[in-house]
Chain A
Amino acid sequence: MLLAVLIFSHNAFAYNLFGGRWPNQPHRGCCAQLSLYYSSGLKSYDKTGWQNGQNAWNASSANIVYLTTTDTSNPIYLQDGYYNNVSWDGVTYLYPCNSCTYSTANVVMNWYFTGRYSSVGSYSTGEIQSVAAHELGHLLGLAHNNLSSCVLMNGFTDQRWVQCQIKTPQSDDANGVNALY
């Protein structure tokens, strides 16, 4: 009985938070709204990935609505670049720090992997969405949860996508967001 309680309570709070959040957003209920600026130089497959990731969050039970903006002064930038000397396929910079009240963010996809230049193998549309949605989770203030392979905030694409086919927020990911907004 005690074991069951421990297991269930552990699973209920498996998500991890950085400790920061976006300001001027509701603390509870639907919905926080954040606007994303898509960099003009995005590769088409990365742009599709970002759009699919955005749609996946909007369709989830998380209290977040991602909007799109063409305002170049928007504080959140979605970008991509070619990096053959790193082992990440996506990265998020939260300013001024990830445990602070956020002011700006830079989210980057690596087309060394998404563009199928890596010897690791080609990324499918679903895999690119998995990376994009994962980074959009960081953007909200979610940290990695490597206790489970099958959640969006697992930090490794081979576990999250190749092993579990996760490309949308799971209940644990949504619970993390709903603890913030």
Chain B
Amino acid sequence: MMRAVKMLGMFLVLGFIAASATLFAGCAQSQRQAQQPTPTQRVVYMAASWAHSYRDLKSLKRDADIAVAGTITSVAGTSSDTVGVVATDFVFSINQSIFNPHGQALGATITIHQTGGIVGNTRYEMEDDPLFQTGEQVVLFLHEYSVGHYNVIGGPTGRFEVRNGVVQPVTGGGVQLASSTSLDAFVMMIQQA
């Protein structure tokens, strides 16, 4: 009898763990995919002329106010102006301040402004600068255009993705990195540039 009760209890605990894991995985997945196109979404790709490109870390440091590593955590808002330009403010959680030459007081989160966004059932996205996704880990070289509000310098050349601890540029036209560059190694490269 006691053995049957123990077995039942064990099944209940295992079942709870499995259900919780599925639930949390589902939440994380849906959060990561919040900015990804859905089958019914209309996608309008925008094509830009970028004012400046950066092919080395020294140039990025010369023009950036800060360089940070962290995670896009949520969308603060999306707007469209009278000219028709769509833009989104993302909440960015700072994990590491890599470069901060002016000693800016950085909070735990900052706002990142990006052209593009989702309005109704239409997704506006730059041809070579994909919309940030919630949950995305990145290293960004940023310009502060108002207190606490930033945009990436050099379009896609000031943005680097971190996947499974490996850093890669989002475009082939900027800084080139070895395919196995770790975040720690990249941080060191930035600091030494």
Contacts and interface: CB of A to CB of B under 8 A. Distances in A.
Chain A interface residue bracket vs B: 35 or more
Given A81-B85, A106-B84, A108-B83, A91 B45 contact: no
Contacts of B152: 87
Contacts of A84: 145
A134 B53 CA distance: 16
A94 B52 contact: no
A18 B47 CA distance: 10
Contact of B51 (A18, A92, A95, A113): A113
A18 B43 CA distance: 13
Interface string A78-92: 011101111111111
Nearest to A96: B42
Contacts, number: 115
B32 interface: no
Q: SS class of chain A's interface: helix, strand, loop or mixed?
A: mixed
Contact of B128 (A108, A155, A159): A155
A37 interface: no
B25 to A, nearest CB: 33
B173 A92 contact: no
B66 to A, nearest CB: 15
Contact of A93 (B46, B50, B113, B157): B46
B48 A158 contact: no
29 contacts: A79-B84, A81-B85, A85-B145, A85-B146, A85-B149, A85-B151, A87-B52, A87-B143, A87-B151, A87-B155, A88-B49, A90-B49, A92-B48, A93-B44, A93-B46, A93-B124, A94-B47, A97-B45, A98-B47, A106-B84, A120-B63, A138-B47, A143-B47, A144-B47, A155-B128, A156-B173, A157-B49, A157-B52, A159-B53
Interface of B: 42-53, 63, 81, 83-85, 87, 113, 115, 124, 127-128, 143, 145-146, 149, 151-155, 157-158, 172-173
